[in-house]
Structures are given as structure tokens and as C-alpha cells.
Structure 1
Amino acid sequence: MPHMVLLAAYLNLNSNDLSDHARKIELSVEVEEKDVTTYASLGWKEVLGGLKSGELGLEFLQDVAATELDSIMWPLLGTVVPFIAKLDNSTTTTSNPAYSGNVLIKGWNPIQGSVGDEASVGVTYPTSGAVTRTTA
């Protein structure tokens, strides 16, 4: 099985390709663990899956120029918008699946950093509804 180095990941938020600003993309999904243990379990815990949820963690290099990152993200604050993320910016295939859904833009950090740092923005957004994996 081949290994992979992320060199050209793809990120689209609200129909904006932000790949040229993103330097970290983390999509995680999970399901709640529901304890359904009874006396008939004979001392063993039994669990079922409950509600599913996810998070999209991003790190951007900030750009406050007109029509760039800050002017795209600021108006989205408080809205639910679609996203698409891929390991590579090439065509979606079985070996380059696209993950998509919606996220709540619940915050924005327009200024973040210390003296001498690059101007970067780190955010994490909860998914809203299903996250899908597409291969075609």
C-alpha cells in the first residue's frame, strides 16, 4: 500500500476554493457511544452507536486584501455553509475521495500571533448534518 504526503490538498468553503490559503485541514467524524449493558451482559459492557458528529479544523495564512480570505470569511460568521475537502486537488476518484457536508462558521480569528510570526488563523467548525464520502 502506498504512503502519501499531503502536498496539494483541496478545501472549498461556501463555493470558495481556499486551498491557496489553507495549510492544515483536519476532518474528524465520530459516533456517540451509548451504553446498553444489562444484567444479561454477564459483566461485559455492551455499546451501540448513537448520534454522529464531526469537526473541520483549519489553519489558514491570513490575507486581508479585498476579495481574499478575511473578506470571504467575515460575512459567513454565524452561518451554516457547505464544504468539500480532499487529500489532493485532482479529480475525485476512488483513490482521491471527496468529503463534503456543511459546517457552522461559529468563529473567526482575524488577528492571531506574536511578534515575528506569520499571520495565521486557526479555527474549528462543527459539522451540521451528514458528512459524505464521494468517489466519483
Structure 2
Amino acid sequence: MVLLAQFLSINGNTLTEYTRKAEVAVEVEDKDVTTYASLGWKEVLGGLKSGELGCEFLQDFAATELDSIMWPLLGSVVPFVVRADQAAVSTSNPNYTGNILIKGWNPLEGSVGDEASVSVSFPTSGAVTRTTA
């Protein structure tokens, strides 16, 4: 599969036109429950789950564009939606949804001659869900 038309929405704002990359990563802590009965083998159980939404955007400072959408969200927990394609949600195009904390915003990045881009990572708050309908 080649990603050609990813969909990204943050706080109800479709940000696809600015998005170069959107990555959802989820993990679960491994908790060591090894005892002497484990006979020298480490045993683990799953603990707390967490996730992160990583994004790379092309910046736009114009009124009503990317920076004016994201700046006011700093410090807020807001909903997100990501899927591989902008087409309808289906078994081959699942929706990943949840809430993220906008814990930072990097409005200015780059060097002379670079495109104005923004790379950010937001921790999830609560469950991340996967839906196919």
C-alpha cells in the first residue's frame, strides 16, 4: 500500500491540505511479574496503554489557516481522526480516533531555503479506537 491521500482531523478541523505525515502509535507497558516459579524466565503482563499522534505539516500563517487553527488549542485536550485514505471508512480504510493533548506547537521551523514546516507529537488522552464502519 502507498499512502497517497491520508485524512487527518484535529478538533473537528480537517487538516489534510497541510499534512505531510500523520502517524498513530499505541503501546502497552510491560509489567514484570517474574517469580521464583518462573524458573529463570521473565514473565510479563500488559499494563497501562498509551498512544501518540505524530504529524508533519506545511505551515500557513494566513488568517483561518493552520497556525490560527492550532495556536488556540495549546494546552487543550481535543479529538482527532486519522485514516489511510480520505475515502469513506471501511474494513480496508479504518478510522483511528481518540483525544490528544496539544502540549506544544512549533510555529517556526526550518533553515534558509526550506519550506515552512511543523513537526509535532501529541500524546493521546484516554482510549484510541479503531472503527471500520
The TM-score with structure 1 as length reference comes to 0.97
Aligned counterpart, 2:120: 123
> Any runs of at least 4 consecutive aligned residues in structure 1 with deviations exceeding 6 A, and if so which?
none
Deviations 1:45-95 (A, max 9, x none): 000000000000000000000000000000000000000000000000011
- SS of equivalent to 1:20: helix
Which consecutive unaligned segments of at least 5 residues does structure 1 have? none
> 1:129 Cα shift?
0.1
Q: Say yes or no: does 1:45 pair with 2:42.
A: yes
CA distance in 2, matches of 1:133, 1:48: 23
Aligned with residue 14 of structure 1, among 11, 34, 38: 11
Deviations 1:97-127 (A, max 9, x none): 0000000000001111000000000000000
> 1:44 Cα shift?
0.4
CA distance in 2, matches of 1:40, 1:101: 40
Q: Say yes or no: does 1:109 pair with 2:88.
A: no
- SS of equivalent to 2:119: strand
Aligned counterpart, 2:53: 56
CA distance in 1, matches of 2:37, 2:104: 47
Task: Among all aligned residue pairs of Structure 1 and Structure 2, give the percentage whose two residues are the same amino acid.
Answer: 74
Q: Say yes or no: does 1:27 pair with 2:36.
A: no
Matched residue type, 1:71: S
Aligned counterpart, 1:82: 79
Which consecutive unaligned segments of at least 5 residues does structure 2 have? none
> 1:131 Cα shift?
0.0
CA distance in 1, matches of 2:68, 2:44: 45
Q: RMSD across aligned C-alpha pairs, in angstroms?
A: 0.3
The TM-score with structure 2 as length reference comes to 0.99
Aligned counterpart, 1:98: 95
- SS of equivalent to 1:78: coil
- SS of equivalent to 2:87: coil
CA distance in 2, matches of 1:109, 1:46: 41
